[in-house]
Structure 1
Amino acid sequence: MASSISSAPASAEKTGANPAREITIPAGSLRSALDSLARQTGISIGMAGILPATSTRKTVRARDVAQALQRVLAGTHLRAVRVDATTWRIEPLPVAPIRVRLPRTPPPIVEGGDIIVTASKRDERLSDLPASISILGGPALDHLAGKRGLVDLLATTDGAFSTNLGPGRDRVFLRGVADSAFNGTSQSLVSLYLDDARIGYSSPDPDLRMVDIDRVEILRGPQGTLYGTGALGGVIRIVTTAPDLDKVSGRIAGDVTATNNGAFGGAFEGTLNLPIVTGTLALRASGWTETMPGWIDDTGRDTRDVNRTGRGGGRAALRWAIGGGWTATASGIGQWINARDSQYATKGLSRATAIAEPQDNDFLSGSLDIHGPIGSLDAQSTTAIVSHEFGSTYDASIMAAALGRTAPVAYVEDRAIRLVTQEVRLSDPTARHPWIVGASVLHATTRLKGRFESDSTSTLARDDKEAVFEAAMFAEGTQRLSSALDLKIGLRGFVTVNDIEQRGPDEQSTTKLGVTPSGTLIWHRDDVGLIWLRYASAIRPAGVTRASVDTERRIPGDELQSIELGWRIRGMGDRLTLNGAIFGSTWEHLRSDVVGSDGLLGTVDAGNATNYGIEFGGRFDAAPYGIDFGTTIQRARLTSPANDRGPEDDRRLPVVPDYSARLGLSRRFALIGKPASGYVTARYIGQTRLSFDPLLDRPAGDYATLDAGATLDDGRRQWSIAVDNVLDGRGNSFGFGNPFTLSTTTQTVPIRPRTVTLRLAIRL
């Protein structure tokens, strides 16, 4: 199940409340009726779940929005709830307490095609957009029990992969665009957003716990036109639940988790929505604390479950309905992750090290979003500030002789990232030719310090500072060619300046001017769906290498261009949904983080690459059963390696496999007179590699997992059980452990053994 609410111009308030003329909605599908209503009045309409495949048999006429919705929804067992002056939510009618209603609903995870949103904002990536997108809704997250991180969600969709270094240390990749499994300082290939605020730049995924989340949008393919530099692989947008201005509500939930060959863990979370001035000002706050059980043992120190990890944090948002359709939302989030040790092994589920290798990840962010009408146009301004600090410790005893030290020796690295962004945009989503224009400014500063420590002696190994400034203007518009054919064109112009200071002193600076265009030809029909042909591009700005293995200091900026033929098709009364894309891309000057001979991470230009393949998935709803499936087949390869390796060498890009697939079965049923559901999901990850460097490369992937779970709704309470890796299989996932011993030892990052999680959520 999923939910989406989109924004609309405030002029809709006048149109919806006191229309100048009668609202007339022609006979047709419920989907087209709601779309017609939204276009006539400018309101926004959101739907939780799948819109029933019903139709209006005659023309509907009404004097206002409320009456129109009432007549359109008559006999559908749905009702319309007014959220604010310009937004309505469609939801099922309340279920009588004596009867058990078994609605036809999707399984825990649904694709974007199952979400119905009309009069959507141009910059939102929703299911009716002609692009490859997966949307994972807030209710779907409830079915994931203890798996509450972004990486856990990626495993439930197609074309998305990540490393498995540990909470707060993973790198995320979409559609085969992957440069390295190592956490160097290169800009991320996937842009991460929290609502409309960018929260990632050159850092790993902060692994925010998914608490009080409305949905997560995963948009695959380059998105440089609207999202700027770094979005070569795509965009991941975490959309939080907005404060409710009218109603007090709350929710608490708790997990208990047990892992085979490991320990027990658990979590507690809570959310409160509090209107301060009803209809005008509201506060929504949530908090969480969690202990994730470990399952790796260290025989050298006779310690069990060394990768046990703690995660805690909170988020708050204050929403103010200023008046005249304008709203302002100030929000902040903080989260702290502390892992006792790394989670790699050298034999089975164990290893032997001389010292512990703790990891930590501290994330803070604040944003201000102002949104409202300027005449008939929709305006928005988003300001965000991010502070992201993470540290790592490794056993570097192998370097003792070279450093003239006595073992054990530790390498301690601390990195701090400060990110400030500002974006303003103006759009007209209800125009005959919808368009959006905007401008953005970004300033990111990264500070990295590394040192070797033994006894009471400390030696500075590196001290780098990098500052990146980016300014851009962008525009996108749609031209209707016929009743079923549209053409969308977009363009972004930008300038980036990159300054870096290293020990020495050694200073380098690069500047880049450029454009990232996009174009989409769209065929659409209400009763069938969408088919599109899309060209898109994205870049990463030029940089400076830190690798001691290369004397060339300046690295050209990455440039990626892609073309895709995509579809999102419905049939059999909307019970069958098919989605996918055939895609191909070229990637010039692929920048890759590498491990130098001194064990320190650096950056090199690996060469040029291509990737082509197909994503195909869908859902069949045969109530009370549901079947979900998906597969990705791709070929991501270096075509002209920068180091001129021979053709006999392995040229696969790291982390992303050539083949992956998933198959899920869900069922709705009644248990002790209560609505319940269960699911079984099988996944296969094909073989992949760790690094371009033959000395560091390790095979990974080529394993399958089986997960199962069930949920029982008991009024205000929801009980869940999830069993992950039911067969307790073993597999080496995408990751490494210690860069200092990677070339001399066999390091693996095992997938998590069989884990059982019990969860209870209570609505207050």
Structure 2
Amino acid sequence: MPLLLSGAALGAMAPAVAHAQSTDPAASADTSKPAPQGDSLDDIVVTANRSGAESLQKVPMAIAVINVDEITKGGQGNLADIAKFTPSLSITEGAPGYQKFNMRGLSTGGYASSDTSDRSLVAVYLDDTPISVQGQTPDLKVYDLERVEVLRGPQGTLYGAGSMAGTVRFVTAKPDLTSTFGNVEVGAMATEGGEMSYNGRGMINLPLSDTLAIRGNFYVARDGGWIDNIGRRNRKDANRNNTYQGRVALRWTPDPKLTVDASMTYEYSRAMGLNVAFSGFDKKTILTNGPEGTDDRFRLYTLGADYDAGFAHVIVTGAYTDRAIGFDASVEPQIGYFFQDYGSGLPISNTTYPLFQAPTSYDKNIALKLPAELYQIDQKLKDYMLEGRLVSKPGGPVSWTVGVYYEKQKRHLRQDIPTPGFDKLSYMNYFYGPFAVPGGQYNSQTVDAAFQPDDIFSGLQDVDERQIAAYADGTWHVTKKLSLTAGIRYFDFKESYYLFEGGVYGVVDHVPLTTNARLKSTGVNPRGNISYQVNDDFMIYGEVAKGFRYGGGNQPVPLGSTGIAGQCTQNLAAYGYSSAPLTFGPDKLWNYTIGEKAKLANGRITFNASAYYIDWSDVQTRLRLNCSYFFTDNKGKITSKGIELETMIKATPELTFQLSGSYNDSRAKGDIPTVGAFDGDRTPYYPQWTGSAQIFYDRNVGNGSLHLQAGYQYQSSQNTTFNNFTTALVAGKLVATGPSQTFAVIPESNNVSAAITYDIGKFEFGLYGNNLVDGVGITNVSRATYYQVYQPGSRINVARPRTIGIRAKVKL
């Protein structure tokens, strides 16, 4: 494959991407041949504006393009890896298929896997199809792609509501009508302290006729685990993961003016554990008494056509997504208090309540006695999308794009926490029983409407939403140097939301909680851009754009005078609420960017810089009450400002350097009581500094070519909440009441990687290493609160330790 530049990264060695057979933004060229070397950096073509191919250095936007070939040679390619190669993008990964994208400091906290109303701030697209789900974007491997484009800043005009911070586009390689080619690759890698990993992948392109071609690829892998479970689950390397992925694409050109593309993408991953350990043990050990893991089955079907109508291209795209997501955790420390002695005087027993005396500190023997709390979330998502747009022909004084968009999505979430033995062991609990039921035996199903006996929580959420949008975007080339761009998008959104909660955690006085909510919103989102081409090698630009995302329905909060309901009522009153809002509305922001793009030293250096200021208002913030319930409301303002720098240097025909970095200062503008933020507090889950340095060396050796690469990526530390305080409203003013039980610091990361590849004719061999100095360790921290006596420290997400791998590739 050719080396496909990273807009500020890795691209010095990449050849220009050929123009497609049509102006279809997704069209591609043959990517099977090696790249030539030269004295200057090659041009890179992007389709981020969805109006045809353009030179990256001529697009007046902050864009980076990830080099797919270099990621593959470096033994990387997971979704989270793309954040290492572009400034201002941060990805928090909890397990395969569970990632949260943050960009330009726009974040208010972590995500809740059970919250279907949590909206994405960064849109992820596969070609023209949105595939992102907040916290649960499918982990499609970065393979057989032309490039990955990262667009920073609001993209609401062309990419819709979920792109208020930015957009990530995976641009797939399309079938080639002119030649047959392909490849097969196998690899193996060893992880320090873990088990071996293996993978295989392949691609084939076949012209079936002069007008029809097919392209297929597959990826199969077993990623070895490195975290040991020493609980009753008792698994070594418990977090291994299996992945199966494939894609088949057809391209048909029955007429020179018409191109039809169809594709089917399939991905299935099954993780046998989570990338989680307990900080009280070490970075590679956890204790659970039940299974943990994730599974994700993703199927995407697309059909599109591009017709040259003379005055413009008519482009129509349809897509259907069918996805099933599963998440399992064993979080029995959170229910330990059900089984401890409350001074009842009953004897300690292994089969009846109480199981143990109330502990004063963590005791592994007690942890092993706890019934397995099998926290389960299963989701089914079906999405239908249809888009049509007209794209003007290039070359005139005015270029434009107009389009309409329709999407309908149905999402069904089933949450369940079966806990074997719970009914028998807890019915005499001092706080929760005993219950006056026939036989004196508590039954979760008959008493608290759980899905089954021995079930402490059962929940359903059904979300049915529909959006319609119309948009227009145009550029007036006032002179050869000055261009003005304006865009606007109108949207109409509707949602119906249903929720049911049963089990002891989901009822008030044994009555299940339910919610039926409907909401709708309409609005207009504009953008404007001005650019000035000082000369062929230097451009300056400025942009203002409005970003938005939709609202949603809230989970209920019980009201009452006693028990949990009484506590919730008091918590709500402390924040000025008589009840939790049934729904919450859209939030919005204005983003102001100035930037420049320059080529220096006769094209041997590129230097791109951008600076931004963001004013985010009516922020969707989640209020977590002490009674364990939560809801979202539009409260507070946040401002974010920062700079982004990217440069490439072609020092010699063989040697290329790449440097990039960003600084962000994102803070609460005024107090935000719902998240306990004081004026000036820095936003959580976002590093203030990021940096990346890459070096590449290519030369001919013997009958082949040698490629060397080495890299270093840095992220500064992140906080998990706005500050280290518990807070309360006193006389309408937010005050600190003590140290926070949830605040934690995610340490800085220092990733060192290297790879060597030798390409000889039809064969390619490689050796690589990642996280070579173990500088990437903890990637997230969840502190234990009321249940800390049953858990040895915090649950910490752990990155894969030092890994060394080999790969071999055969070109067909």
TM-score grouping bracket, smaller chain normalisation: 0.7 to 0.9
Distance 2:274 2:61 in 1: 38
1:370-409 alignment to 2 at 5 Å?
Answer: 370-400=305-335, 407-409=371-373
Distance 1:188 1:149 in 2: 20
Aligned to 1:242: 174
Which of 694, 712, 715 is the aligned partner of 1:664? 694
Mapped pair 1:414 → 2:378:
yes
Mapped pair 1:174 → 2:138:
no
Distance 2:308 2:13 in 1: 26
Deviates more, 1:176-185 or 1:676-685: 176-185
CA 1:725 to 1:86, structure 2 compared with 1: closer, same or farther past 3 Å? closer
Deviations 1:401-447 (A, max 9, x none): 67789722211111222211111000213232001100101112221
Instruction: After TM superposition, give the deviation of residue 359 of structure 1 in Å.
Output: 1.3
Deviations 1:53-112 (A, max 9, x none): xxxxxxxxxxxxxxxxxxxxxxxxxxx9897488999999999xxxx9854587xxxxxx
1:566-585 alignment to 2 at 5 Å?
Answer: 566-585=595-614
Q: Is the 8 A contact 2:743 2:783 kept in 1?
A: no
Distance 1:712 1:457 in 2: 59
Aligned to 1:588: 617
Deviations 1:341-381 (A, max 9, x none): 11111132212222221211111111111111123211101
Which of 530, 550, 555 is the aligned partner of 1:546? 555
Which of 394, 407, 429 is the aligned partner of 2:393? 429
Distance 1:338 1:596 in 2: 34
Distance 1:471 1:268 in 2: 41
Aligned to 1:307: 239
Distance 1:547 1:566 in 2: 45
Instruction: After TM superposition, give the deviation of residue 654 of structure 1 in Å.
Output: 2.2
Q: Is the 8 A contact 2:74 2:769 kept in 1?
A: no
CA 1:648 to 1:487, structure 2 compared with 1: closer, same or farther past 3 Å? closer
Aligned to 2:426: none
Distance 1:660 1:280 in 2: 47
Distance 2:247 2:132 in 1: 17
Instruction: After TM superposition, give the deviation of residue 525 of structure 1 in Å.
Output: 4.5
Deviates more, 1:333-342 or 1:184-193: 184-193
CA 1:254 to 1:735, structure 2 compared with 1: closer, same or farther past 3 Å? farther
CA 1:91 to 1:250, structure 2 compared with 1: closer, same or farther past 3 Å? closer
Deviations 1:496-548 (A, max 9, x none): 11221111442111111111100000012552132110001111112222274
Aligned to 1:443: 408
Q: Is the 8 A contact 2:465 2:496 kept in 1?
A: yes
Paired amino acid for 1:342: L
Distance 2:303 2:155 in 1: 23
Instruction: After TM superposition, give the deviation of residue 640 of structure 1 in Å.
Output: 3.2
SS of 2:175 mapped into structure 1: coil
Which of 36, 61, 65 is the aligned partner of 1:135? 65
CA 1:501 to 1:199, structure 2 compared with 1: closer, same or farther past 3 Å? same
Aligned to 1:502: 499
Q: Is the 8 A contact 1:126 1:217 kept in 2?
A: no
Which of 207, 217, 222 is the aligned partner of 1:286? 217
SS of 1:345 mapped into structure 2: strand
CA 1:523 to 1:248, structure 2 compared with 1: closer, same or farther past 3 Å? same
Distance 1:93 1:283 in 2: 15
SS of 1:176 mapped into structure 2: coil
Distance 1:291 1:601 in 2: 38
Q: Is the 8 A contact 1:180 1:594 kept in 2?
A: no
Aligned to 1:42: none
Aligned to 1:707: 753
1:203-222 alignment to 2 at 5 Å?
Answer: 204-222=136-154
Which of 535, 538, 544 is the aligned partner of 1:535? 544
Q: Is the 8 A contact 2:392 2:400 kept in 1?
A: yes
Which of 637, 652, 656 is the aligned partner of 2:682? 652
Which of 192, 197, 203 is the aligned partner of 2:129? 197
Distance 2:236 2:680 in 1: 37
Deviates more, 1:147-156 or 1:401-410: 401-410
Which of 79, 83, 87 is the aligned partner of 1:154? 83
Structure number with greater Rg is 2
Paired amino acid for 1:416: K
Distance 1:282 1:274 in 2: 6
Aligned to 1:759: 807
Distance 2:110 2:261 in 1: 37
Distance 1:650 1:153 in 2: 30
Aligned to 2:160: 228
CA 1:358 to 1:119, structure 2 compared with 1: closer, same or farther past 3 Å? closer
Aligned to 2:715: 685
SS of 1:427 mapped into structure 2: strand
Paired amino acid for 1:172: F
Instruction: After TM superposition, give the deviation of residue 237 of structure 1 in Å.
Output: 0.8
Distance 1:83 1:508 in 2: 47
Aligned to 1:719: 765
Deviates more, 1:510-519 or 1:344-353: 344-353
Q: Is the 8 A contact 1:344 1:736 kept in 2?
A: no
Instruction: After TM superposition, give the deviation of residue 756 of structure 1 in Å.
Output: 0.9
Mapped pair 1:341 → 2:273:
yes
Unaligned runs of 5+ in 2: 6-11, 340-352, 354-369, 421-452, 501-512, 558-567, 573-579, 727-739
Which of 798, 801, 805 is the aligned partner of 1:750? 798
Distance 1:154 1:539 in 2: 23
Paired amino acid for 2:149: E
Aligned to 1:607: 636
Deviates more, 1:489-498 or 1:647-656: 647-656
Q: Is the 8 A contact 1:607 1:642 kept in 2?
A: yes
Paired amino acid for 1:506: T
Q: Is the 8 A contact 1:344 1:747 kept in 2?
A: yes
SS of 1:398 mapped into structure 2: helix
Which of 277, 281, 293 is the aligned partner of 1:358? 293
SS of 1:153 mapped into structure 2: helix
- The CA RMSD over aligned residues, in Å, is 3.2
Mapped pair 1:484 → 2:481:
yes
Paired amino acid for 2:693: L
Paired amino acid for 2:488: L
Deviations 1:284-314 (A, max 9, x none): 1111110112111222244321111111121
| Matched length | 683
- TM-score where L is the length of structure 2: 0.78
Deviations 1:633-676 (A, max 9, x none): 01111223431777768832222111111112222234444211
Instruction: After TM superposition, give the deviation of residue 50 of structure 1 in Å.
Output: 4.6
- TM-score where L is the length of structure 1: 0.83
CA 1:755 to 1:114, structure 2 compared with 1: closer, same or farther past 3 Å? farther
1:106-125 alignment to 2 at 5 Å?
Answer: 114-116=43-45, 122=51
CA 1:124 to 1:604, structure 2 compared with 1: closer, same or farther past 3 Å? farther
CA 1:592 to 1:333, structure 2 compared with 1: closer, same or farther past 3 Å? farther
Deviates more, 1:605-614 or 1:680-689: 605-614
CA 1:753 to 1:598, structure 2 compared with 1: closer, same or farther past 3 Å? farther
Paired amino acid for 2:417: F
Alignment identity in percent?
23
CA 1:81 to 1:362, structure 2 compared with 1: closer, same or farther past 3 Å? closer
